[in-house]
Amino acid sequence: MRFVRYQVDGEVRHGVIEGDRVRELLRTFFDGVVPMATSYALDDLDLLAPCRPTKMLCLGINYRDHAEEMGHTLPEEPVLFMKPPTALAGPGQPIVYPHMAGRVDYEAELAIVIGRRCRSVPPEKVDKVIFGYTCFNDVTARDLQSKDGQWTRAKGFDTFGVVGPWIETDPGDPGRLSVTCRLNGEVRQSSRTDQLIVDCRSIVSWVSRIMTLEVGDVIATGTPAGIGPMQPGDEVEVEIEGIGVLRNTVEAEREKGAKPAHIL
């Protein structure tokens, strides 16, 4: 099933996709699927990020082809970093290119969405806490990542954690999905999740041993080879097999000291 968040008449609502329509739900889909009579044409809705995570957890250097591309040896343990919830952006929302960044890159990723509050989950029970999967663009200010020697600023700008367009509860085997990134229609990344160094279930189990995972939290599983820069005016698409296409445009930051991104 595919679940979405969207806005109608200024209100945020939740729904389940039925063909080319969205059936409204009485409650958030995390609280149980209670469909209502109201439905909308999917193409008529402004979709939002499909969840509001308390944190976005991301893995670095978790694809064999990307490690080779970057000249890294395979890590002995997952390389974990976080994006703040203020970095959240949804489908169709502009990715803002900050004034202080000299190079901003796309990074296509498969992301896991947590459905139950959990801690120290053994690998064999991880499926009970995963709600579903979605597309993720781990936008990165590459020059600042190199300059700072750590990743908080480079990964943490508003709109640098792009999630959507929906949550798919059954995309197929998460270890055998294609991952594609297109920039202005040209394929820049093309790989499969069988290139993952640490698989999805092991990632969730390992992260849950470090911190409590909350409902709606997002874990991005890493990006494959082919990362590269974007420019204002570009359109970037992240496509994950069995899920869909996350599409955004890039725009320059309009002014210094701009207002915070509006997150619904």
Residue 144 sits in a domain whose CATH number is 3.90.850.10
At 233, give phi and psi (nearest 5°). 100, -15
Residues 149 and 230 in one domain: yes
Residues 33 and 134 in one domain: no
Range with the poorest average pLDDT among 44-48, 74-78, 147-151, 215-219: 74-78
Q: Return the pLDDT at 19.
A: 96
The predicted-structure confidence for 98-124, as pLDDT tens digits, reads as follows: 999 999 999 999 999 999 999 999 999
Tokens 């896991």 found at: 112
Q: Return the pLDDT at 41.
A: 98
- In the chain, pLDDT over 70 holds for what percent of residues? 98
Residue 27 within any structural domain of the chain: yes
The predicted-structure confidence for 120-168, as pLDDT tens digits, reads as follows: 999 999 999 999 999 999 999 999 999 998 999 999 999 999 999 999 9
Cβ distance 181 to 225 under 8 Å?
no
Q: How far apart are CA 59 and CA 200, in angstroms?
A: 11
pLDDT band at residue 236, thresholds of 50, 70 and 90? very high
Cβ distance 83 to 58 under 8 Å?
yes
Residues 42 and 66 in one domain: no
> What are the angstrom distances between the C-alpha of 71 and each of 27, 67, 119, 221, 222?
47, 6, 34, 19, 16
Q: Return the pLDDT at 123.
A: 94
Could you give the number of structural domains in the chain? Answer: 2
Pair of tokens at residue 93: 């929302």
Mean pLDDT throughout 239-257? Answer: 92
Residue 258 within any structural domain of the chain: no
pLDDT band at residue 257, thresholds of 50, 70 and 90? low
Q: How far apart are CA 239 and CA 106, in angstroms?
A: 13
Provide the domain limits for residue 177.
56-252
Question: Is residue 206's pLDDT more than 90?
Answer: yes
Residue 9 sits in a domain whose CATH number is 2.30.30.370
Helix or strand or coil: residue 22? strand
At 87, give phi and psi (nearest 5°). -80, -5
At 238, give phi and psi (nearest 5°). -110, 120
Question: Is residue 64's pLDDT more than 80?
Answer: yes
pLDDT band at residue 256, thresholds of 50, 70 and 90? low
Mean pLDDT throughout 45-58? Answer: 97
Residue 29 within any structural domain of the chain: yes
Q: How far apart are CA 33 and CA 151, in angstroms?
A: 38
Q: For residue 146, count CB atoms less than 10 angstroms from its CB and return exposed for 0-12, middle for 13-18, buried for 19 or more.
A: exposed
